[in-house]
Amino acid sequence: MTLIERYGRHLPVPPDVAPVSLGEGGTPLLPSRRLGPALGLDLWFKLEGQNPTGSFKDRGMTVAVTLARARGARAVICASTGNTAASAAAYAARAGLAAAVVVPRGRVARGKLAQALACGAEVWEIEGDFDRALELVRATAASVPAVALVNSVNPDRLQGQKTAAFEICDAFAGDRPPDAVVLPVGNAGNITAYHMGFEEYRRAGRLAALPAMIGVQAAGAAPLVLGRDVPNPETVATAIRIGRPASAEGARRAVAQTGGAFAAVPDEAILDAQRRLAAEEGVFVEPASAAPVAALLEAAAGRAPEVAARVRPGVRVVCVLTGHGLKDPDAGARLGRPSRVLEAEPAAVARELDRLAGGGPAA
Ligand SMILES: *Cc1c(COP(=O)(O)O)cnc(C)c1O
């Protein structure tokens, strides 16, 4: 079943409109095996990297492209740090529409660019950051008929993305709902969408209380923590390298109305969290997606009191892992031990195996 079929009565898609779908949504909610116990938390991971193009953007794109096509669009356009481009390109291809994506030159992870190009999108690189790219597409898209803007400033995107909150509630139905939901924040559409989703379920009597929403930014791109725009945002987490979030208002409301918080984490903490997620949980995410886990680790180390205050021992926490590690192979390859060259002989391999297994009998 497509996401639109599953949650149709919560979505603005008329029943006679055929969904443009790649099988998005229904992503795993995985209990943590090591980090949670080490932190004294009942920690869960929502694996949004399992969506068709490897990020949560697909939840919004299925609704945005479905409605764009139904309204007669022939092309879609977006500004992107990479994942929106990959998703827009794929859903446009599926729908039979043209796609153009405007990206900051040299600042898009390799996997994401490959996805957009492979799906036939026109990729337009600009000398400027995401904020400038979004300014450009917002200033121009409306003046060209039959072009739909599919950034998260398009409300259809947020409608689709709120379904992740529904899935979390449905997964814990009849059980204790999460006390806190922690997610990375860039342009702030996703935190706004989760808040909408939780609020809709609460009003429908399907959720007793809203979880505290904790929005995590990179220290070099933290306008919501600082309370002002950041002119030249810098972070290894390119998906959240944004200095002027379009949905800042929605993000502030989400945090205020749920007793949540914004937090900033340094790049070193993000990379450490990315490495630990992969090495200790087997979950390989892109850097931006490790920011929520970095915030929990920083809180445990006494460096994020605003997070620690809301994530007391024993609480149930869901970290939203927004995008797949394969998106950014350059960041991923730096995480583990470097590969080594072995002699192509059984003795050489056996020697290494013996060392690996600690010299004991084979398991
Ligand atoms: C888009 C994106 C974000 C940020 O989401 P916003 O809605 O812009 O706040 C975080 N992580 C990944 C992997 C993304 O692609």
For the segment 227-258, what is each residue's pLDDT rounded down to a tens digit?
Answer: 999 999 999 999 999 999 999 999 999 999 99
**pLDDT score of 126 more than 90:** yes
Average pLDDT, the chain: 96
For ligand 1, atom 8, the nearest C-alpha belongs to: 187
Q: pLDDT value at position 315?
A: 98
**pLDDT score of 271 more than 50:** yes
Mutate to test the pocket of ligand 1, among 51, 83, 183 (most ligand atoms within 8 A of CB): 83
Rounded to whole angstroms, the Cα distance separating 328 from 184 reads 16
CATH topology assigned to domain 57-155? Rossmann fold (3.40.50)
Please list every protein residue whose CB sits less than 6 Å from any atom of ligand 1. Answer: 55, 57, 83, 152, 184-190, 239-240, 286, 288-289, 322-323
> Which atom belonging to ligand 1 lies closest to the Cα atom of 192?
7
**pLDDT score of 363 more than 50:** no
Q: pLDDT value at position 359?
A: 67
**333-343 pLDDT, tens per residue?**
889 899 999 99
Task: Please list the residue range(s) of the chain that carry CATH number 3.40.50.1100.
Answer: 3-55+157-332, 57-155
**pLDDT score of 360 more than 70:** no
Rounded to whole angstroms, the Cα distance separating 359 from 152 reads 54
The model's confidence at residue 332, banded by pLDDT at 50, 70 and 90, is: confident
Rounded to whole angstroms, the Cα distance separating 119 from 330 reads 21
Which residues face 124 on adjacent strands? 102
The secondary structure element, H or E, covering residue 90 is helix 83-95
Q: What is the pTM of this model?
A: 0.96
Would you say domain 3-55+157-332 falls under CATH 3.40.50.1100? yes
